Amino acid sequence: MTPHIEAKKEEIAKTVIMPGDPLRAKYIAENYLENYKLVSKVRNIYAYTGYYKGVRITVMASGMGMPSIGIYSYELYKFYDVENIIRVGSAGAYTDSLKLYDIVLATSSYSESSFALTQNNCTEKILYSSNFLNEKIKEASEKLQIKVNPCVIHSSDVFYKENDNFRELYENYKCMACEMESFALFHNANVLSKNAACILTISDNFITGEKTTSTERQNSFTKMMEVALEAAINLW
């Protein structure tokens, strides 16, 4: 147990699928896992452990933003001996080449955040996901015939900006989409010599103004979930 996770150490699997939304974690458990059990619910951050196609998997929410995923991913890696975390979430597209419900795989994450600097004096602004996990995700997408788009993403600390510079981020750093957690996740994985990946479904588009509803974001991103789960059961 930790200050934020009440599960016993043996109740957490070596691979964790990590949505931000606790209700998305609940949805994945109820619709994909067999013999699942709720193993933690501190602060309503749900964690479920069960079996997907015979392989033991944990699905746990991270909450929103880098401070939140920074806590949960660190504790899972450090105190529960988790080896792999695959974040699944939503993202806003910075280009009209990405459409609603397209799936992106974060090869790297650019951020202005001070998370890494504060955590261990890391001055890098671009952090990378695990090549190992990314290859497994690509293999899973090919097997399921679900297209994923590898790209650089922007990981932001701010949802509501007074001066949105997304066009500069797209032009200068090749950021194709934006979310709020991957930079901290990748940093913790790097610090603790673990594996992290991030697969996202486009929920809105900064160029076209298109967007999905909150209910759709919670329940309708099933293809992304299936790719992540298929990758998770083929890591060994």
Catalytic sites, residue numbers:
204
How are beta strands 175-179 and 15-19 bridged, if at all? Answer: unpaired
Q: Report how far residue 53's alpha carbon sits from residue 30's, in angstroms, rounded to the nearest whole number.
A: 14
Residue pair 214/193 in contact (Cβ under 8 Å)? The answer is no
Q: Which two tokens stand for residue 82?
A: 């988790």
Q: Report how far residue 131's alpha carbon sits from residue 196's, in angstroms, rounded to the nearest whole number.
A: 9
Q: Which residues contact 17 (CB under 8 A, 6 or more apart)?
A: 28, 57, 58, 59, 60, 86, 88, 225, 228, 229, 232
Q: Where are the alpha helices (DSSP H) in the chain?
A: 22-32, 66-79, 115-120, 131-144, 166-173, 182-191, 214-219, 222-232
Question: Beta partners for 182?
Answer: none
